[in-house]
Amino acid sequence: MLSIQHLSKSYKNSRLILDDISFNVQKGEILGLIGPSGAGKSTLIRCVNRLIEPTQGSIVLNGVVLSGLSSSKLREQRRLIGMIFQEYALVERLSVMENVLSGTLGYVPFWRSFFRQFPQEKIDKAFAYLERVGLLEHTNKRADELSGGQKQRVGIARALAQNPELLLIDEPTASLDPKTSRQIMRLIREICKEQQLPAIINIHDVPLAQNFADRIIGLNGGKIVFDGSPDALSETVLTTIYGEEEWHTPAEKEEQIHTKGSSESIEMKLELAV
């Protein structure tokens, strides 16, 4: 379980980027972070693995206080936190397999990684992860030969190679088309449920968050303004998170107009009948 309590982050001469954030994430739970740009979503994710140092508060993963670790101990714990990035963060000139094996660098001696001599056990697991994400036939391709969706699948396999206890996922679908976005989110959800991995996903696409997250936290101005079920994301709640906006799609607007017109027509007929 991940527990974040009273987490705040500020920079010199600036407002609080995160303001007294507290929540828990259970095993296998997928938490979607939504909110406008600048709300603090990416900062929150990076505070969890201390890529950004929190100003105050505690971060505890399975009983280990991450916010109080020394540099050497933090390196050990970071092996247990898989990170999946918006821009994939692959080494383009390396093969798919080599990129996946880079997820094991925290577990093998430097000389082995330098000469790309990974233990057979790690290689076998990398093959299994590539099969799980549907890329087994692309094992020897260079990363720069892949599509965006395939690159994101490599990123997922690389994160799994770390044998993580937590997944942090930053805008996994921002560069993908709608169909591929749904496939990637479905894959992430299936893997989290299979391995009982907790995950925090920073995501702008509200419908995707509603479809694939178990729980939603809405941030605005560095504060939690909503924490609840995806089903509870009403227009009122979305307005609290994002500000005033027209939340109906064009199709929904058309349906509303049609329904309103039909109702007025029925009322007129009833009046005439009377």
**What is the DSSP pairing of strand 166-170 with strand 199-202?**
parallel
Domain 2-273 superfamily per CATH: P-loop containing nucleotide triphosphate hydrolases (3.40.50.300)
Q: Where are the domains of the chain?
A: 2-273
| H helix count then E strand count, the chain | 10, 10
Res. 130: pLDDT tops 50: yes
Report the DSSP beta bridge partners of residue 168.
83, 200
Q: Which residues pair with 31 in a beta bridge?
A: 200, 215
Average pLDDT score over the chain: 85
Q: 266: which 2 tokens?
A: 């029925």
Sequence-ordered alpha helix ranges (H) in 94-230: 96-101, 110-114, 120-132, 148-161, 178-195, 206-212
Give the pLDDT confidence score for residue 71 in this predicted structure: 82
Read off the pLDDT of residues 247-272 as tens digits, 9 standing for 90 and up.
555 555 455 445 445 555 545 544 44
The whole-model pTM stands at 0.83
- The string of DSSP letters for 7-54 reads EEEE-TTS-EEEEEEEEEE-TT-EEEEE--TTSSHHHHHHHHTTSS--
